[in-house]
């Protein structure tokens, strides 16, 4: 289970969640398929591979040392707007033709609701699993998502199960935008970070004034001209320790996370042949890399803000 993206959250206050309590709470909120009229269904499933076992036989969370992995499953029924609108128009035309009268707004809304209710049982289902892990030592939540809405959905589901789950996006003492901009103007990147070949520059006075560069020497004159005109780095491609590539955003979201071959080979060392053993080894290596990366990333931006 290799994360492709990361959103970082700090557990509120001095909270240190008891893993047993979390496990019991999530177990009572396992994913269950709802009725045919339900458009969105979500619930907790095991993050572990099935290994031929049914979902109910698997532990709802996965523990490894001071970390606990969670997985939220969300099933969404897809009804394209064009399909709904076409059926609504057909029904309206039939009423107007057969009853020789005009259909007005209030009735149209009711017809639309009826159409959705009729089509939902036949809709395609888009199923997605959102993974995250709690690190008790660092008191952080690491969510495998770039979407704020998706991450907040997972957090809300934890909160619903536990009754309380105080978390907030991790903030740093120094603006990541200003630090990343300084790296593009010649300052040496912090620690084991090096520049890759992509960035997104934005005019702070006009958010729609954006320049996106790919496969580009980020210290070239072309980039310098944009910086001299007042643009700042909102996203920056970085390589950490020659082991992980990523795009770092101003809110500390890490996207297009890619672990290099050396890391993947380390995880494959010993060639475990059991699915759970492979999962265990992959997660151990990934979590250690991410932990070191996150600590150095926060240090690069002046350390974590306590406010």
Q: Give residue-wise pLDDT tens across range 119-141.
A: 888 888 888 999 999 998 888 99
Q: Give residue-wise pLDDT tens across range 223-250.
A: 999 999 999 999 999 999 999 999 999 9
Instruction: Say what the pLDDT of residue 281 is.
Output: 92
Residue 158 token pair:
């934890």
Give the separation between CA 216 and CA 213, rounded to whole angstroms.
Answer: 6
Phi and psi angles of residue 104, each rounded to the nearest 5 degrees, phi first: -100, 175
Instruction: Say what the pLDDT of residue 29 is.
Output: 92
**Is the distance from CB of 59 to CB of 44 less than 8 angstroms?**
no
**Residue 154 or 53, more confident:** 154
In sequence order, what DSSP letters do the residues of 47-68 get, joined into one string? SS--TT--GGGS-SSEEETTEE
pLDDT band, very low/low/confident/very high, at 164 (cuts 50, 70, 90)? confident
In the predicted model, is pLDDT for residue 154 greater than 80?
Answer: yes
Instruction: Say what the pLDDT of residue 307 is.
Output: 65
Q: Give residue-wise pLDDT tens across range 5-63.
A: 999 999 875 555 688 889 999 999 999 876 666 788 899 999 998 877 777 788 999 99
Instruction: Say what the pLDDT of residue 276 is.
Output: 84
Give the separation between CA 79 and CA 226, rounded to whole angstroms.
Answer: 43
In the predicted model, is pLDDT for residue 171 greater than 70?
Answer: yes
Instruction: Say what the pLDDT of residue 155 is.
Output: 95
Which residue shows structure tokens 């789950």? 165
Instruction: Say what the pLDDT of residue 176 is.
Output: 96
Give the global pTM: 0.85
Residue 160 token pair:
């619903």
């Amino acid at each position: 289970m290799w994360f492709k993206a990361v959103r970082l959250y700090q557990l509120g206050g001095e909270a240190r969640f008891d893993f047993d309590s979390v496990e019991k709470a999530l177990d009572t909120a396992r994913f269950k398929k709802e009725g045919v009229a339900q458009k969105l269904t979500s619930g907790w499933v095991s993050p572990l591979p099935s290994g031929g076992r049914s979902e109910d036989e698997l532990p709802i969370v996965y523990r490894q040392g001071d970390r606990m992995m969670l997985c939220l499953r969300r099933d969404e029924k897809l009804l394209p707007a064009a399909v709904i609108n076409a059926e609504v128009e057909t029904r309206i035309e039939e009423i107007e033709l057969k009853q020789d009268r005009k259909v007005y707004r209030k009735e149209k809304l009711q017809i639309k609701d009826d159409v959705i209710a009729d089509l939902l049982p036949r809709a395609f289902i888009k199923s997605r699993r959102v993974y995250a892990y709690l690190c008790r030592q660092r008191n952080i939540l690491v969510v495998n998502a770039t979407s704020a809405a998706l991450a907040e959905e997972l957090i809300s589901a934890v909160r619903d199960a536990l009754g309380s789950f105080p978390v907030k996006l991790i903030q740093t003492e120094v603006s990541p935008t200003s630090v990343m901009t300084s790296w593009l103007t010649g300052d040496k990147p912090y620690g084991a970070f090096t520049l890759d070949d992509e960035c997104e520059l934005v005019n702070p006075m006009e958010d729609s004034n954006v320049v996106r560069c790919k496969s580009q020497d980020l210290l070239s004159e072309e980039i310098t001209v944009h910086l001299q005109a007042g643009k700042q780095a909102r996203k920056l491609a970085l390589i950490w320790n020659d082991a992980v590539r990523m795009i770092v955003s101003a809110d500390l979201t890490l996207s297009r996370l890619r672990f290099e071959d050396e890391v993947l080979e380390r995880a494959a060392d010993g060639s475990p042949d059991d699915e759970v053993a492979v999962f265990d080894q992959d997660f151990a290596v990934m979590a250690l890399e991410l932990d070191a990366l996150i600590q150095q990333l926060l240090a690069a931006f002046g350390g974590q803000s306590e406010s």
